[in-house]
Amino acid sequence: MHEALTGEKRGRRDSLIQVLNKSSVVLLVACWEAFIEDLADKAFSSLLTKASSPDHFPKEVQKRLSKHVKEDKNDLKVLELAGNGWKSILKEYKITKSKKFLGEFNTPSPKNIDDLFSDLIGLDNLSKSWSWYTITPTNARRRLQKFIKLRGTIAHKVKSKKPVHKGAVETHMDFLQKLANYSNERVNRYLGDFDKKKKVRQKK
């Protein structure tokens, strides 16, 4: 679309094309958030499917779930744990955590992502896996935070002072793709290691 409207020659484009570039930024962040939600959901569901009791989940997750139940205003909430009721409470817990860290007033920022996976599956500091070539986890977090801030400026203030170029959009797209790949690999590795440790403990 960009080339069809402006051609392939080098040089500055008409300011109207900024609408396309800035819309791409908003869409990219939306896709990133959808990916994180999907990854967290699948990881949590993987643990829940294999669980015969809440004990299958990491200890830290069990503690947070217990706190979640105790803080519920419904005094009879604990009774829902009877039978297979704990599965429904775990699903409710997952929804609550997703809304807390990725809800209407939050963003898929490094901190929110780390907190989400820590609370849901016990994986701490997922963002530490964001490292490749000359990119360190610290640099990756900073770049993601900056990109999310740009999205916020575009979405909430309509206009951003600095123009957004096609090259920058492509760079951000490649960056988010790498974050997605490394996040997916780290979560899968964590779940695999957790299953192995669980089997070893069961044998003992």
pLDDT exceeds cutoff 90 at 192? yes
Name the β-bridge partners of 135: 132
**Residue 101 token pair:** 């860290």
pTM: 0.84
Report angle CA 128, 131, 133 to the nearest 5 degrees: 165
What tens digit of pLDDT does each residue of 51-63 get? 888 888 888 998 8
Confidence of residue 76 (pLDDT cuts 50, 70, 90): very low
107 and 145 Cβ atoms separated by less than 8 Å = no
